[in-house]
Amino acid sequence: MPESPAQNRLKQLSFVVLAVLVVLASRLWHLQIMRGDVYEALSQGNRVRVIPVPAPRGKILDRHGVPLATSRMAFSVSIVPQDVPDMEATVVRLAPILGMSPESIREKLAAPRRPFDPVRLKTDVDPAVVTAIGERRTDLPGVVIEEVPVRSYVYGDFASHLIGFIREIDSSELKLYRDKGYRPGDLIGKVGVERAFEEYLRGVDGGEQVEVNSLSQPIKVLGSLAPIPGNDVVLTIDQKVQAAAERALSEQLQELSKSPKTRGAKAGAVIAMDPRTGEILAMTSKPSYDPNMFVGEVSREELNFLSSTPSPQPNRVTSHTYPPGSAFKVITALAALERHKVTMDDRFVCTGRDPQSGKACWTAERGKGHGKQDLVTGIANSCNIVFYELGRRVGIDDLAMYARMFGLGRPTGIQLFPGDASGLVPDRAWKRLNFKGYDQIWYPTETLDVAIGQGALLVTPIQIANAYATIAAGGITHVPMVARAVLAPDGKVIREFAPKVAGSVNVSRGSFEILKQGLAKVVSEGTAAGAFKGFPVPAAGKTGTAQNPRGDSHGWFAGFAPVDRPEIVVVVLVEHGTSGSLAAAPVARKVMEAYFGLDQKQPEAPGSGTAPGPAGDSREQVVRPADETGGTMPTPATTPETKAPGEVRGEVPDGSGVSHQGPGATHSPGVGRSSAP
């Protein structure tokens, strides 16, 4: 049968049908067979969501295991933008509940993040806020309450610069740490130990794998991965010594600022160090802050406080540099002894003025001099005339060389963040490099300035501590260290930090002996005698009163004890304290007292978490009458606003008064200690 034209065209149409179906089927083949695995993975991503479960951060403990920084659980309010049908309405409703402005919420929502991640709006909210949100559940779709671990600094404003704090990672840090698995919104140590030991303290976040529907509502939990808590860092800090340092410096600054003569004394620094190991026993910088303020939102008042002057932010022990004043004279004396420019037979006469340069001794204003002195009495009196002469004899080149030998002019290498400052040791080369024309000339009076720790010389308190530790240790320099060990959450030691010898100085034993005699005399009958009156441990040290262009002189004290077998070096700086003897030395004494257990402590009956030491601890608990020190009840915290822990240790070293808790102390971390506030 011949086909009609219509039938022919219908046939063509059926080919079109076939072609269409083949095209569709091949597309199916392409999507489902050739690329099926890709799309399957994509559909899994749609359906399965990982809800991060943050790992608690490792604790920071003192050398005996007393917790200084821990983690506690807190409520945080987050929003899952995908679940919010009307973001504007939700933000407006939520803002007053959280006490935030709608703008600040919008700002947080606008920050970059991974899709489907909840955006954390506020951490550590009151239970009342949690209840309020719970009641308005239906009005606030997509708003979720999470329980998250937050940092808790047990003693509040306590070694804040050393311990540091954590905050949300910022974009520049994110770039730096991307390889280490940090995500926006993660917390990271910003300064201090929190930053320097971030890799140990930070745990591994866990996650809950949940199947969700298109509204991000979890349907079922597919699996969960428990977070791995961070490791604990055991510091070299002794909580007791630290508390004494905090308290002594705060009280001293308070006291000084009352007097019109020393009104400018508002800031200072204390560092205590074990010269045998370089371990830092205490480090405080005032003014300071309570790192707990960084846990939630930082309030306006807190921000104002942080930007007030003198600034509470820098760690004055490591970051600020000061002229060392007379505290530097130990270097001048050693250089002169080593270069044989002085002997114990040399005699100096101080009339109040240097006959050659016309420069004055500090006694000049009283119209008289120190009279006839030898090197040891010159040190004890801190007589400038003696040290001008020594400086002249030694010359700037050797003076600078010895200063550098004792670690001045470069960072000590302490493991903190930010690292410590270099300071400045001026010499001819420095002038040549940094000045022009006639200013490049090194003038003889400049040598005299450096000889008494003035001029362009600049040091950090930790450098002075390190230099005095070298003297105390008979020439061996250690790298100052803040951490002894890293412990796994189960208490197992993961890493131990051994003391690190940085080097030894080429100074004879004899020179050290003469210097130590002088330093001991400073404490026994010299410039620090008043402050150390009745101090039972033989101590040595040097005061310093450093003139500076910013105002009244800074007060320094650097010393160690016991003289013959030094265990502790203490350096105190009081900015604009006007006198090392009056402003700094008394603080150092209190720190030493705490170290040697001379600050009378009574076991506190109520709330005392103190348990006897471990079984092997043979030390007796000695309760001393309170009247010996005026009956003040010591607390580890230093300022009224800090959280005073309900713990006062009942133990005091045995009667000898020179026992101490050195590195070999028998406390094992965490045993028998309670820090419940």
Partner 1 sequence: MLLDRRLLRNLDYSLVFAVLALCLVGFMIVFSATRGGIGPGSPQDPLYFVKRQVAAFILGTLACAAILTTDYRLAERAHQVLYVGNVGMLALVLVMGHRISGAQSWFRLGPVALQPSELAKVALILTLAHHLSEAQDITTHRGLALAFLHAAVPAGLVLLQNDLGTALVFCGITFAMLYVAGARGKDLLAVVGAGALASPVVFFFLLKDYQRARLLAFLNPYADPTGTGYNVIQSTIAIGSGRFFGKGLFHGTQAQLNFLPAHHTDFIFSVIGEELGFIGAVAVLTLYGLVLWRCLHAAACAKDAFGRLVATGVAAMLLFHVLVNVGMTMSLMPVTGIPLPFLSYGGSSLMANLIAIGFVLDVYMRRQKILF
Burial class (CB in 10 A: 0-12, 13-18, 19+), 127: exposed
Could you give phi then psi for residue 388, rounded to 5 degrees? -60, -45
Question: Rule CB under 8 A: is residue 6 a binding residue for partner 1?
Answer: yes
The number of beta carbons lying within 10 Å of the beta carbon of residue 370 is 22
* Residue choice 16, 128, 433, 498 for contact with partner 1 (CB under 8 A): 16
Site for partner 1 in 216-245 (CB under 8 A): 219
Question: Rule CB under 8 A: is residue 176 a binding residue for partner 1?
Answer: no
Q: Give dist(CA 45, CA 281) in Å, integer.
A: 52
* Residue choice 14, 131, 356, 659 for contact with partner 1 (CB under 8 A): 14
Query: Both tokens of residue 111?
Result: 């920050």
Q: CB of 548 within 8 A of CB of 537?
A: no
* Residue choice 31, 441, 611, 623 for contact with partner 1 (CB under 8 A): 31
Query: Both tokens of residue 95?
Result: 């803002």
The number of beta carbons lying within 10 Å of the beta carbon of residue 167 is 18
Question: Rule CB under 8 A: is residue 7 a binding residue for partner 1?
Answer: yes
Question: Rule CB under 8 A: is residue 35 a binding residue for partner 1?
Answer: yes
> What is the closest distance, in whole angstroms, from the C-beta atom of residue 2 to partner 1 in the complex?
13
Q: Give dist(CA 676, CA 626) in Å, integer.
A: 25
Of 30 and 180, which has the nearer Cβ to partner 1? 30
Question: Rule CB under 8 A: is residue 92 a binding residue for partner 1?
Answer: no
> What is the closest distance, in whole angstroms, from the C-beta atom of residue 146 to partner 1 in the complex?
23
Of 6 and 433, which has the nearer Cβ to partner 1? 6
Tell me the window of 15-23, 325-333, 362-370, 655-663 that interacts with partner 1 (CB under 8 A).
15-23
Of 13 and 303, which has the nearer Cβ to partner 1? 13
Of 3 and 620, which has the nearer Cβ to partner 1? 3
Q: Give dist(CA 591, CA 461) in Å, integer.
A: 15
Tell me the window of 31-39, 339-347, 596-604, 667-675 that interacts with partner 1 (CB under 8 A).
31-39
Q: Give dist(CA 391, CA 442) in Å, integer.
A: 14
Q: Give dist(CA 544, CA 540) in Å, integer.
A: 14
* Residue choice 112, 127, 128, 214 for contact with partner 1 (CB under 8 A): 214
Of 20 and 226, which has the nearer Cβ to partner 1? 20
Question: Rule CB under 8 A: is residue 25 a binding residue for partner 1?
Answer: yes
Angle at 300 between CA 296 and CA 301, to 5 degrees: 100
Which residues does residue 218 pair with via DSSP β-bridges, in sequence order?
212
Residue type, 19: A
Of 142 and 562, which has the nearer Cβ to partner 1? 142
H or E element in which residue 176 lies: helix 171-177
> What is the closest distance, in whole angstroms, from the C-beta atom of residue 14 to partner 1 in the complex?
5
Which residues does residue 220 pair with via DSSP β-bridges, in sequence order?
211
Question: Rule CB under 8 A: is residue 633 a binding residue for partner 1?
Answer: no
Tell me the window of 9-17, 162-170, 349-357, 581-589 that interacts with partner 1 (CB under 8 A).
9-17
Site string for partner 1, 37-66 (x = CB under 8 A): xxxx-xxx-xx-------------------
* Residue choice 73, 89, 111, 215 for contact with partner 1 (CB under 8 A): 215
- The DSSP code for 518 is H
Tell me the window of 36-44, 347-355, 378-386, 649-657 that interacts with partner 1 (CB under 8 A).
36-44
Three-state SS at 636:
coil
> What is the closest distance, in whole angstroms, from the C-beta atom of residue 35 to partner 1 in the complex?
6
The number of beta carbons lying within 10 Å of the beta carbon of residue 676 is 10
Q: CB of 518 within 8 A of CB of 375?
A: yes
H or E element in which residue 471 lies: helix 461-472
User: For partner 1, how many residues bind (rule: CB under 8 A)?
Assistant: 39
The number of beta carbons lying within 10 Å of the beta carbon of residue 270 is 32
Binding residues vs partner 1 (CB under 8 A): 5-7, 9-11, 13-14, 16-18, 20-21, 23-25, 27-29, 31-33, 35-40, 42-44, 46-47, 211-215, 219
